Structure 1
Amino acid sequence: MPDEEKLLANRWRLARELRRLREQADLSGRRLAERVGISQSKVSRIESCATIPTHAEVAAWAAATGLSATAAEKLGTLVDPAYTEIHPWSSALPERVHLQHDIQEIENATGVKLVYEPSIVPGLLQIAEYARRVFAQFEPAYPALDVPAAVAGRLDRQVALFDPSRRFEFVVTEAALRFRITPVDVMLAQLDRIDSLSTLENVSIGLIPQSAPALTHVPHGFVIFEPADEEGGTLVMVETVHANLTVADPGEVALYKRQWSRLKESATFGGSANALLRDIAAELKALPPESVP
């Protein structure tokens, strides 16, 4: 079963179980809503799988319908699979040339995008040759004929940066800017691109200097997608070595937001960030020719 179908099946399983419990307890939607502390319309949306309840709401639902502690705990285990999508690269990539359009669909519904990257330049800031090298080094490997399409898809997503109605915030470590994924001339062009994009009013680029005191430790990058309208839910996307994870559970999303705040507090912005870019560029230019890959 494809990952999307598994997620939908998990959500419907939770929705049907919650409705069964309400009906078994002989409670109307209005009465249950009063006991759980939510609106009657939300009860309806939950039971029709239009809204996914939080862990706290499911626990309150269990208490309102008289479930035992053991049964309530079992009910709680249905929540996480309804919130988290796991897309292994080994199964996701063979189904399509690349995933850039999938990400773009999420971005199109996003009002604010928060990006943390500790190891490489974020995709929306990459120049073409840098992106090509990233895709060429990916595992499982992209077929050589598919790499140009993946690069073009990534560059096409960058058009959104110039839409003033949307906001993009990036926090990138100094180590990511120094990671030598390309020859020096390409790295210099990449640093210049970051400097240029930082002048956009709707784009914020913060850099965490290696000398900055650490306020937290996050070993992997992540992206927070905040919806453009109140009806949507905030999502977090995490790329791991083996899979892409999409997290929607409010409690877990809140954890990533707290980490984002700490990382942002460690970052430098504006003139200080531009000075750091210039320092890195100067060090690259000073490298002896024989050390350039």
Structure 2
Amino acid sequence: MTFAPEDLGRGKADLARALRELRKRAGLSGDRLARRCAMSQSKISKIETGRTVPSSVDVERILRALGATPETTAEVMSIARIALTEWQDARALRRRGLESKQAELADLEEGTREFRFFLLSMITGLLSTPEYIRATLAHVPGDHTRTMARKLDRQRVLHDPTKRFTFVLTEQAVRWPLVPPSHMALQIDRLVSVSRLPSVRIGVIPIGGHLPGCPLNTFTVYDDSMATVEISTGAIVFRDPRDVGSYLAEFESYERQALFGEAARRRLSEWADDCREDLQS
């Protein structure tokens, strides 16, 4: 299925309208449909008015209760998939303020138990030094002191014993010279240090040999319920189980190619030493 970013915002209203019209066509009240689905009447009402976006499982339950035909089911499930996908435009996020995005991420991290990060081209904020974070914000006008403070404060979540983090980084992500060699060496040293935390696994995929597949994007999977995919103009948020499952499978394929534990730390230390050699030359 293909869709344009501008379609994503309309999916929620389209899904609410489609389910409401199907219920009316079936001659059922909201209360009767709720009983058939083993849902509350208030939940059905919120779904039909667009205040709540139902999961794909909820949509399937409603369609079965309504006796929808296979053709109708396929059509509505396609609408549901769009409704469960969100486009976050980078320019709009900047207009809202970078701090608001940090607050959203902190809330998301609070409610997530298992995190999987695939980092294709650069190091994520949870693993970054202050110098590296400052460099990632350099292209955005304004004073980023408070945003940097929020980013650094979010790193406390790595010490939460109830959570699990797996980071898989390509060699390019680790070694891309976003900051001068002295700061890059310190940044890579931080990866080594964080990899020793009980809740954290850091894996690296060195360039060399045969690597099946070709990654296209940085992405993060939160538990098994949501995946965020970053592109140059924004991010796409997937909540449909099929999409999330695809990213879980992709992550596992990269995880199998990565070095972890002492093997990863040795390679990271070699890359940090390379940065120090560059500084001396």
Q: TM-score, normalised to structure 1's length?
A: 0.80
Q: 3-state DSSP class of the match of 1:65?
A: coil
Q: CA deviation at 1:240?
A: 1.1
Q: CA deviation at 1:46?
A: 5.5
Q: Aligned partners of 1:83, 1:108: CA distance in 2, in Å?
A: 21
Q: CA deviation at 1:80?
A: 2.7
Q: 3-state DSSP class of the match of 2:229?
A: strand
* 1:229 aligned partner: none
1:131-142 counterparts in 2 under 5 A? 131-137=133-139, 142=140
Contact 1:135 1:150 in 2 (8 A): no
1:168-247 counterparts in 2 under 5 A? 168-211=165-208, 213-226=210-223, 234-247=225-238
Q: CA deviation at 1:13?
A: 4.2
Q: CA deviation at 1:106?
A: 0.9
Q: Aligned partners of 2:62, 2:142: CA distance in 1, in Å?
A: 53
Q: 3-state DSSP class of the match of 1:268?
A: coil
Q: 3-state DSSP class of the match of 2:39?
A: helix
* 1:269 aligned partner: 260
Q: CA deviation at 1:129?
A: 0.3
* 1:230 aligned partner: none
* 1:115 aligned partner: 117
User: Deviation per CA, 1:43-96, whole angstroms, max 9, x where unpaired?
Assistant: 974553346242895498279534473x55543442133111111111121122
* 1:36 aligned partner: none
Q: CA deviation at 1:286?
A: 2.1
Query: Would the alpha carbon gap of residues 191 and 16 (structure 1) be closer, same or farther in structure 2, given more than 3 Å must change?
Result: same
Amino acid aligned to 1:105: D
Q: Aligned partners of 2:84, 2:68: CA distance in 1, in Å?
A: 25
Amino acid aligned to 1:187: M
Query: Would the alpha carbon gap of residues 30 and 287 (structure 1) be closer, same or farther in structure 2, given more than 3 Å must change?
Result: closer
Q: Aligned partners of 2:137, 2:20: CA distance in 1, in Å?
A: 46
Contact 2:135 2:179 in 1 (8 A): yes
Q: CA deviation at 1:213?
A: 3.1
Q: Which ranges of structure 1 fall in alignment gaps of 5 or more residues?
A: 34-39, 227-232
Q: Aligned partners of 1:185, 1:193: CA distance in 2, in Å?
A: 13
* 2:25 aligned partner: 24
Q: CA deviation at 1:252?
A: 0.3
User: Deviation per CA, 1:182-221, whole angstroms, max 9, x where unpaired?
Assistant: 1111011101111111111111101111125323322110
Q: CA deviation at 1:256?
A: 0.4
* 2:249 aligned partner: 258
Contact 1:172 1:208 in 2 (8 A): yes
* 1:14 aligned partner: 15
User: Deviation per CA, 1:96-116, whole angstroms, max 9, x where unpaired?
Assistant: 243211211111111111111
Q: Aligned partners of 1:43, 1:261: CA distance in 2, in Å?
A: 40
Amino acid aligned to 1:182: V
User: Deviation per CA, 1:224-256, whole angstroms, max 9, x where unpaired?
Assistant: 111xxxxxx711111211112211111100000
Amino acid aligned to 1:172: L
Q: 3-state DSSP class of the match of 2:82?
A: helix
Q: Aligned partners of 1:43, 1:16: CA distance in 2, in Å?
A: 17
Q: Aligned partners of 1:251, 1:165: CA distance in 2, in Å?
A: 27
C-alpha RMSD of the superposition: 2.9
Amino acid aligned to 1:144: G
* 2:155 matches 1:153: no
User: Deviation per CA, 1:161-193, whole angstroms, max 9, x where unpaired?
Assistant: 111111111000111111111111101110111
**Greater Cα offset, 12-21 or 213-222:** 12-21
Q: 3-state DSSP class of the match of 1:85?
A: strand
Q: CA deviation at 1:24?
A: 2.2
Q: CA deviation at 1:153?
A: 1.5
